[in-house]
Amino acid sequence: MNSEKLEQVWQEVCDQIKSYNNIDPTQVNAFFSRLHPQAMSEGFLMLTADNDFIKTWIERHYAEFIKQALADLYQVPFTVVIEVDLAPAVPAPATAQRSGGPSETAPTIAGEAASAKTPTPAEPAAPAPPQNSAEHAAPMTTPNLAGTDADASSTADGPAAANPESANPSVAGMENGADGPTSTLTFENFVIGDSNRMAYSMAVAVAEMPGKAHLNPLFIYGKSGLGKTHLMRAIQNYVNETMPHLSVVYVDSAELLSDYMEASAAHDKEKSSYKNFKTRYEEADVLLIDDVQYLQGKKQTLDIVFQIFNKLTSQGRQVVLSADRAPKNIDIDERYKSRFNSGGTFDIQPPEIETKLGIVKSFVEEYRESEGSRDFDIPADIQMYIAESSSSNIRELKSAVTKVIYQMTFFNQPNLSLDDVRSLLENHFSGGPSKRLTIADIQKEVETFYRVSHAELVGKKRAREIIHARQIAIYLCRQMLDLPFNDIGKKFNRDHSTVMYSVTNIEEKMKENRELREELETLRQIIREI
């Protein structure tokens, strides 16, 4: 069979698989783009995968579907063989050749066990999509639900707390040790959608070949609860599993700051303390720093991070950073912004309905597997209600699913109706307009964000930065409070037509300007957390 015909047959097989129930077509598209048909005869198909990760994932999760599709199309049973294509042998990254033997495992990360992580969902590039895990365990006997990317009890990522996107309550004990496997935060249990596909793809690329110049550093940003830490932990897990000779260090900014303060405080008494602090990070082959926005205003710590950053990247060792905003919106020196932006910078947007529904389904499937309850399911209308009602924060969505699961199992109510679930989750979701917010609240946060005074925001000055802040504040008042234009105008000393123009202008700019959308999403998050 010639290659053109083989590709055509393979496309038919893929289309057949996507027609099956309980198959997510977006995941098939992403995963199967990394498979290539090599040979086919009666009852036999040979495929090659880009790497071991793809091969293993396909064999575990899709091999039977491939065989079923072939049998449905050709009415004969098939043997399917998947091999790794080693033809384009890629040289090992510089990091892998830095030392002859295995690197020492990084030291304990304090506070990881106190945090809980949520995964989540963005754009093109080929890597593979898996399924999400859970978080927000209920205060009862907790099933082994996979970890997510945010602290179940926190409403925002705060510098004083352990990283809210890090651990899983069900495996907290495992994560309180060295930088080894971090529970279930892997590429396999990350649900991919249009909102996160590009960030996911780049994370996989870095995990497969750490230290490549065009993705060093890799900077992933997006608001809390969208899956940044899940991707960072997935990189950590993948490198630990496939390249155990490399030293991988994950740290959130709160821990990094604490480490630095302790080392500095002890410096006079024990001169080795400061050296040991730097050595831990400078000897990493892959260094992952989470929530770097919390280092703003911490000049001395930033200087040290900058030194470590420059040393590692100059030696071809990989640095991965995450934040809740783009580098340009972090209040740090321009040289830091420039360096943070010098590799690959990718955002994670709030997930669309389809992705949230996929997360709900994967969470239910994970519960079935962990509990051995293959017949358990949540009705489709309830799953859709949860996906549509939840905010963009995936931890909120997953905790809603957890509540429903416990209501159905622990409280023995397997026949929950949609009305029952509406009552159960009546006060759970934070999405929708806030009734407690005021125009003054929004004005204050916009003034702080853009560094303008209240007099400037509501006054007559027409400097570009002031006009921009004013229009953003008006737009957010209209969107978040749903007030009439006249009522908003009175608080800004503007008339109805000016307010209407401001809203329309921002809406038009958002269509073309991704950075503006990111600014607005950051502001919404800040305002919601008041």
With a pLDDT cut of 70, the percent of the chain lying above it is: 78
3-state secondary structure (DSSP) of residue 337: helix
Residues of the chain with CATH 1.10.8: 354-424
CATH number of this structure's domain 439-528, picked from the four choices 1.10.1750.10, 3.40.50.2000, 3.90.1150.10, 3.50.30.60: 1.10.1750.10
CATH of domain 354-424: 1.10.8
Q: Does the pLDDT value for residue 309 go beyond 80? A: yes
Question: Is residue 164 scored above 80 in pLDDT?
Answer: no
Residues 11-67: tens digit of each pLDDT: 999 999 988 887 877 778 777 887 888 888 888 888 888 777 677 778 878 888 999
pLDDT score for 183:
55
Query: Which pLDDT score is estimated for 530?
Result: 67
Average of pLDDT values for 365-390?
86
pLDDT on residue 434: 37
For residue 409, what pLDDT band results from cuts at 50, 70 and 90?
confident
Report the C-alpha gap between 177 and 172 in whole angstroms.
10
- Is position 227 annotated in a ligand binding site? yes
- Homologous superfamily of 3-84 in CATH? DnaA, N-terminal domain (3.30.300.180)
Closest CA to 232 of 322, 292, 359, 312: 322
pLDDT score of 253 = 87
| Confidence at 378, pLDDT banded by 50, 70, 90 | very high
Looking up tokens 């202008």 gives 505
Contacts of 426 (CB under 8 A, 6+ apart): none
Rounded to whole angstroms, the Cα distance separating 91 from 85 reads: 15
Distance CA 413, CA 340 (A): 51
Is 111 labelled a binding residue? no
Weakest-pLDDT range from 27-36, 87-96, 457-466, 479-488? 87-96
Ligand-binding annotation for 120, yes or no, is no
Residue 182 CB neighbours (<10 A):
27
Give CATH 1.10.1750.10 domain extents, the chain: 439-528
> Is 229 assigned a ligand-binding role in the annotation?
yes
Categorize the per-residue pLDDT at 144 as very low, low, confident or very high, splitting at 50, 70 and 90. very low
* pTM for the predicted model, two decimal places: 0.51
Lowest pLDDT segment from 49-63, 170-184, 506-520: 170-184
Structure tokens at 315: 């030696």
Question: Cα–Cα distance between 437 and 528 in angstroms, integer?
Answer: 8
Say whether pLDDT at 470 is over 80: yes
- Give residue-wise pLDDT tens across range 207-266: 999 998 889 999 999 877 888 989 999 999 999 999 999 999 999 888 888 888 877 766
CATH 3.30.300.180 domain residues, the chain:
3-84
The mean pLDDT value for 300-325 works out to 89
